[in-house]
Chain A
Amino acid sequence: MSNVTQDTAVRTSTVTRIFIYGLLILFAAYYLMPLFVMIVNSLKPLSEITSGNMMALPEVWTLEPWRQAWSKAQIGIEPTGLKPYFLNSILIVVPAVFISTIVGAMNGYVLTKWRFRGDTLVFGALLFSCFIPFQIVLIPMAVVLGKMGIAGSIPGLVLVHVVYGIGFTTLYYRNYYAVFPTELVRAAQIDGAGFFRIFWRIMLPISGPITVVSVIWQFTNIWNDFLFGASFAGQQQPMTVALNNLVQSSTGVKEYNVHFAGAILAALPTLLVYIVAGRYFVRGLMAGSVKG
């Protein structure tokens, strides 16, 4: 892969090239348009949206919709804005990402360096769990969370996200560790290093890149989750559910500008991660689909 250059051998004429650039820019406009619409309209007073043009820049620039969306908008029955829900999402995401990544790293380490009979089967079974439609677990999960007394709570959601995130994190670390020379592990073993020591001293120091990939993937997935949040959060709803409640609420005037500001607030963390670490984000996406 490394000696393949960016260019292809295909030759194209100038006219074709102009056409290609035109098309590519057109598509860039298509992908950017919704983001543009969201940003522009979140900075307008409502009257400019209902009587004006969605694509036009604001005549009067205002941050009021953002303030509304953040701390005043009516969500469900309380006029709290999205702030508490943003906090809920953070309280769910941070421990869930942390735990699932550590577990995934240990699993990947065992599955590649301490292989045993049937390890591929275990891995396959774990991998399959990444793809199941979560509707198949909703009913028993509701029962079990209730029995454990953590239904409608943040620890409950953390548990759910950890359980269904392990498959992905294990996949990442397994494929990453698989190409790491096992001889080094065996040599360390002969020198008397134990299971955990080898992990700390040899595997962990080389795990930087894949940890970034895993953290970003888990962060994006869990932050963007709606189904589990809507099913099991009770009053501790995450951001996605709150945003949906805000937008779908049937009472009062539809405050489009507040909805757009709210949507950007909900998208901001993952968007920021994408801007800062886009390279790793793409790698995570690919590793989740094409073989690692």
Chain B
Amino acid sequence: MANNVGQDDFQTKLQNWLPKIVLSPSIAAMVVFVYGFIAFTVYMSFSDSKMLPSYDWIGLANYTKLWKLSHWWVSITNLAVFALLYIGICTFLGLSLAILLDQKIRGEGMLRPIYLYPMALSFIVTGTAWKWILDPGIGLENTMHQWGWESFHFDWIKDRNMAIYTVVIAAVWQTSGFVMAMFLAGLRGVDNEILKAAQIDGASNWRLYRRIVIPMLRPAFLSAFVILAHLSVKSYDLIIALTGGGPGRATEVPATFMYSYTFTRNSMGIGAASAVIMLMTIAAIITPYLYAELKEKK
């Protein structure tokens, strides 16, 4: 009898612990592979690691060195230019397309997937396609010449000063449809009664959107910003496929900088320092957002 009670006890205890046992591998993986690894990389950024990890502490030396490198300055300037244009154009284009699509368009069901499919492609495929489209020899410039526009000139991808803008072109092509979908979902949530009331008051379409609809899309703006900002900091594949960081170093960004310093230039300490700066940039954007989202849900 006593034995039986003991067994029951064990069973209930097991039932109580089971959820935590099931969750624990994920927590362990997260603690090791995410937060442990972040700590490790942070430590590396304070060490004199070159080709292999080393554990000798050298304080902030890697960071001071990093900020003196012109290569790093090129990378972050490019990132700033890229992020600003990428976020700006994607938001503008996405919002415009969403508003246009929201006007009882016949064939919306066909247009929407066309705008959105690039998101299913990898950045490597996107980069490969645009690399040849933008190539003056066989791409757009050549096509325009063939069609009789002899003076047409478009060789940004080979031009040090303009190459970063080609990255923007390809990236906007890939993501803007997705931003459109986010805004469209927001627009579909806007209450039509409010719009009707404003129209009766004599507001023009333009005013209607500017004063009423767009302010109501604030959550969509916020989500779009967070997604686009974190994608731009992480952008790596597209640049590798499209320009390879070139011509020269003209399109290097922190992600490519980190990779080359860590794995090909034998300066792991500096590479780690650049990764830490990337993480801090993203954390500054994501943490407040996640905090607000999770608090709201409770």
Q: Which residues of A are at the interface with B, using a C-beta cutoff of 8 A? A: 1, 4-12, 17, 20-21, 23-24, 27-28, 30-35, 37-38, 41, 49-50, 52-56, 103, 106-107, 110-111, 114, 116, 120, 122-129, 131-141, 143-144, 163-164, 166-167, 170, 178, 194-196, 220, 223-227, 230-231, 240, 243-244, 247-248, 256, 259-260, 262-263, 266-267, 270-271, 273-274, 278, 281-282, 285-286, 289-291
Contact = CB atoms under 8 A, between A and B. Distances in A.
Given A17-B103, A28-B114, A126 B36 contact: no
A248 B143 CA distance: 23
B1 interface: no
B187 interface: yes
Interface in B223-245: 223-224, 226-227, 230, 233-234, 236-237, 240-241, 244
A286 B185 contact: yes
A27 B97 contact: yes
B13 interface: no
A144 to B, nearest CB: 8
25 contacts: A9-B192, A23-B100, A24-B101, A34-B126, A37-B132, A49-B138, A50-B138, A107-B22, A114-B19, A141-B37, A164-B34, A170-B26, A195-B22, A196-B18, A223-B122, A226-B240, A240-B237, A243-B124, A244-B124, A244-B240, A248-B244, A266-B122, A267-B125, A270-B120, A274-B120
Interface of B: 15, 18-20, 22-23, 25-27, 29-30, 33-38, 40-41, 44, 53, 97, 100-105, 108, 111, 113-126, 128-133, 137-140, 142-143, 146-147, 173, 177-178, 181-182, 185, 187-192, 195-196, 199, 205, 208-209, 219-220, 223-224, 226-227, 230, 233-234, 236-237, 240-241, 244, 254-255, 258-259, 262-263, 268, 271-272, 274-276, 278-279, 282-283, 286-287, 290-291, 293-294, 296-298
B177 A31 contact: yes
Contacts of B128: 243-244, 247, 259-260, 262-263
A111 B237 contact: no
A290 to B, nearest CB: 5
A226 B100 CA distance: 35
Given A24-B105, A139-B262, A226 B30 contact: no
A153 to B, nearest CB: 17
Nearest to A7: B104
A278 B279 contact: no
Given A10-B195, A114-B19, A267 B121 contact: yes
A135 B236 CA distance: 10
Contacts of A194: 15, 18
B132 to A, nearest CB: 6
A120 B124 contact: no
Contact of A282 (B102, B123, B181, B241): B181
A127 B27 CA distance: 12
A180 B175 CA distance: 33
Contacts of A126: 26, 30
Given A195-B19, A267-B125, A290-B185, A9 B30 contact: no
B236 A260 contact: no
Given A53-B147, A270-B120, 16 more contacts: A8-B104, A11-B205, A27-B115, A34-B126, A50-B137, A126-B26, A135-B254, A138-B259, A163-B29, A240-B124, A243-B125, A278-B116, A286-B182, A289-B227, A290-B182, A291-B296
Contacts of A27: 97, 115
A-B pairs, top 7 by smallest CB distance, nearest first, are A224-B122, A114-B19, A274-B120, A226-B237, A140-B40, A9-B195, A140-B37
Contacts of B147: 53
A120 B294 contact: yes
A267 to B, nearest CB: 5
B225 to A, nearest CB: 10
A232 B290 CA distance: 30
Contact of B129 (A6, A37, A111, A223): A37
A70 to B, nearest CB: 16
B182 A289 contact: yes
Nearest to B120: A274
A32 B236 CA distance: 24
Contacts of A226: 122-124, 236-237, 240-241
Contact of A125 (B30, B37, B244, B293): B30
